[in-house]
Amino acid sequence: MAHGGALPPTTVSGFSELIQALTAETLVRTGGATHPRLAILGAIEARLVRADRLVLAGLEEGVWPRLPATDPFLSRPMREALGLPPPERRLGLSAHDFAQAACAPEVLLVSAERRGGQPAVKSRWLWRLQILAAGAEVEIPSRPELLDWARALDAPLADPPPALRPAARPEPRPPLAARPRRLSVTQVETWTRDPYAIYARHILRLSPLDAPDAPVEAGPRGTAIHVAMERLVSDHPELPPDAEARFEALLLEELVKVGVRRPALARETAYARRLAPWVIGWERQRRPDARILVEQQGALHLGEIDFTLTARADRLELKDGLAHVIDFKTGAPPTAKQVKAHFAPQLTLTAAILQGGGFAALGPVGAGELLYVQLTGREIAGRVVPALGAEEDAQTIVAAALAGLKQKVAEFDDPTSPYISWSAPQHAKSWGGDYDHLARRFEWHVMGGSGAEGGA
């Protein structure tokens, strides 16, 4: 370090590597207080100690004996020519250590079959001992029970108490009083697929906490795009001529706000560049003659089942006496088939709230188009995906969704109805839901414990 001036310039990480390499060279002897009857020593230290029972561990080639270091300058033949001792001299010393230690009154020789995940080769001295003993027809006593003991120490219990049996698929049946009387349309969507998630969030009141410095995932990115779309409407009631550039800047600003780091921003910049013209083109199409409301809160109390359904609509467009419902997605929106089958009732139930007058700013109003707008910024920068096919009768499906919800609420008003985990795996988006771990899904699904049954 004192002569660092002679070194070429380095980088922070290079310097850190250097320090690590230097510190790794230094041997620190901790010594200090030891057990009165048990000592763990290196080979040389052990020479000074007399012990009643000696365990020689690590009898593998490369560990004991340690292989001589590679000399970058002089090879073995060159050393010989120069009259220098061969690198194997140290092996001799090491053999001496071994021979001396192996002569204690009681000796246990231990070698590992695998080291660092790789098969190991027994130490040469073990080989010699074994061959010699075999030749002399002497049996070296082995202690196979020691390995059995070691395995038995942490072995699975043969007959575990109930608490230690593999967890089954959870099916909690909380009392009625604990069950939620108010859910949002997106939560109802979760309910249709994974009721346990509703249980964990709304009954146990457990919510995920973002770890500091966690990489920004889909969630916050989606938030940024939503906010950008909202601000496009609130900041620019009239679209300026350079709306594209403004939206692009707006979006990048929001992405930085939610914590997208610089390297990820390279990709986001490319997306924003493509997304902006598409969004503005779409806006110019949607805006005329429409009253646009962003981020609207709606709630509908269903008296007969005493349940409140809420919704937060990304965007409502009032036009020709109808309210069009628009939801922005950064990922793939649900298919029309899923919407029709009510596994994605977010928009149909939002429509039901609209019709029931649940959006205070609008009063009761008929629902028009139900649209997902997928915003990616990729080759197809944006896409409008109607939630239902053109030939579907939206009215009927909306009514069916509301009726279905009522049925579901009624069903869960039976204290024996359980909140099982993953009730409709076909429609599960993917692994990695917030409550999969709490539900021990891996334990009963992948590991397939006693009689547990999985889904997909």
Partner 1 sequence: MSAPTAQMRAADPTASVFVTANAGSGKTKTLVDRVARLLLKGVKPEAVLCITYTKAAAAEMQGRLFEVLGAWSVLEGAVLREKLAQLEGRPADAFDDETLSRARTLFARALETPGGLKIQTIHAFCEKLLRRFPLESGVAPGFRVLEDAAASAVSARARERVAEAALDGPEGPIGRAYAHLAVKLDRRAFDGLLAAFEGQRDAIRAYVTRCEAAGRTVADDVWTVCGFPGEPSDPEALEAEAVAACDWAKWRLAAEALIATASSSDAKLSARLAALAECAAQGRGFEDCWGVFSTAAGEPLKDSSLGTKKLDPAIKAWLLEERDRLHRACTRARAARVAVDTVHALTLALAHGELYAGAKAETGALDFDDLVARTVELLTERADAAWVLYKLDGGIDHILLDEAQDTAPAQWDILRALTEEFFAGEGARAAQRTLFVVGDEKQSIYAFQGAAPERLAEEAQGYSARIADGGGVFLGVPLLESWRSTPEVLRFVDEVFRPAEMRKAVPPPPGLDVVAHKAGRSDGLAGLVELWPLETEPDTPEPQPWTAPVDAPPVENARKALAQRIAARIADAIARGEAVYDKELKRLRPMHGGDVLILVRGRDGLFEEIIRALKSRGLATAGADRMQLSKHIAFQDLMSLIRTCLFPRDDLSLAEVLRSPLCDVDEAELFQLAHGRQGSLWAALHARRGEAPAFEAAAAFLDWAREEAAIRTPFDWLGRVLARLDGAGRSVRQRIVTRLGREAEDALDETLNQALAAEARGVFDLERFAAAQAGSEIEVKRELEGPRREIRVMTVHGAKGLEAPVVILPDTTRTRQGARSPLLPTPDGGFLFAAGKADDCEASAEAREALEAKDEAEDLRLLYVALTRARDRLIVCGRIAKRAGTASGAPDQTWYAHCARALETLEARKVDDGGLALRRFGADPITAPASAPAESDAPAALPAWARGLAPAERALAEYASPSDLAGRARAPAPSPLSQTRGLGRFRRGELIHRLLQLLPDLPEAEREAAAARLLARERDLDPDQRTEMAEAALRVLGDPQFADVFGPGSRAEAAVAGTAPSLPPGLAVSGYVDRMAVAPDRVLVVDFKTNRPTPDDIAGADPAYLDQMALYWAVLSAVFPERRVEAALVWTDGPRLMPVPQAVIDARLERLRSLRR
160 binds partner 1 (CB under 8 A): yes
119 binds partner 1 (CB under 8 A): yes
88 binds partner 1 (CB under 8 A): yes
Q: Are 311 and 156 in contact (CB under 8 A)?
A: no
CA pair distance 122, 111, nearest whole angstrom:
7
Beta strands in 60-192 (DSSP E): 106-109, 114-115, 118-119, 182-184
What is the dihedral sign for C-alpha 128, 134, 136, 138? positive
CA pair distance 423, 404, nearest whole angstrom:
16
Element (H, E) at 350: helix 346-355
148 binds partner 1 (CB under 8 A): yes
Q: Are 71 and 86 in contact (CB under 8 A)?
A: no
CA pair distance 45, 60, nearest whole angstrom:
20
392 binds partner 1 (CB under 8 A): no
Q: How many C-beta atoms surround the C-beta of residue 357 within 10 A?
A: 13
Near partner 1 in 247-266, by CB under 8 A? 262-266
| 3-class SS of residue 392 | coil
Element (H, E) at 291: strand 291-302
Q: How far is CA 342 from CA 28, 336, 388, 405, in A?
A: 67, 10, 11, 9
Among 7, 20, 242, 389, binds partner 1 (CB under 8 A): 20
71 binds partner 1 (CB under 8 A): yes
Q: Are 290 and 345 in contact (CB under 8 A)?
A: no
36 binds partner 1 (CB under 8 A): yes
Closest CA to 247 of 259, 260, 261, 233: 233
Q: Which is nearer to partner 1, 212 or 241 (CB)?
A: 212
CA pair distance 344, 394, nearest whole angstrom:
14
Near partner 1 in 195-224, by CB under 8 A? 195, 200, 203-209, 211-215
Residue type, 65: P
Near partner 1 in 275-334, by CB under 8 A? none
Minimum distance of partner 1 from residue 92's CB (angstroms): 10
Q: Which is nearer to partner 1, 196 or 359 (CB)?
A: 196
Near partner 1 in 367-386, by CB under 8 A? 377-379
Q: Which is nearer to partner 1, 140 or 290 (CB)?
A: 140
418 binds partner 1 (CB under 8 A): yes
Binding mask 128-147 for partner 1 (x = CB under 8 A): x-xxx-xxx-------xx--
Q: Which is nearer to partner 1, 48 or 157 (CB)?
A: 157
Among 302, 343, 365, 385, binds partner 1 (CB under 8 A): 343
Among 142, 396, 426, 430, binds partner 1 (CB under 8 A): 426
434 binds partner 1 (CB under 8 A): yes
Among 87, 222, 281, 356, binds partner 1 (CB under 8 A): 87
Among 67, 138, 176, 360, binds partner 1 (CB under 8 A): 67
Q: Which is nearer to partner 1, 118 or 321 (CB)?
A: 118
Q: How many C-beta atoms surround the C-beta of residue 73 within 10 A?
A: 6
Q: Which is nearer to partner 1, 297 or 442 (CB)?
A: 442
Q: How many C-beta atoms surround the C-beta of residue 144 within 10 A?
A: 7
85 binds partner 1 (CB under 8 A): no
238 binds partner 1 (CB under 8 A): no
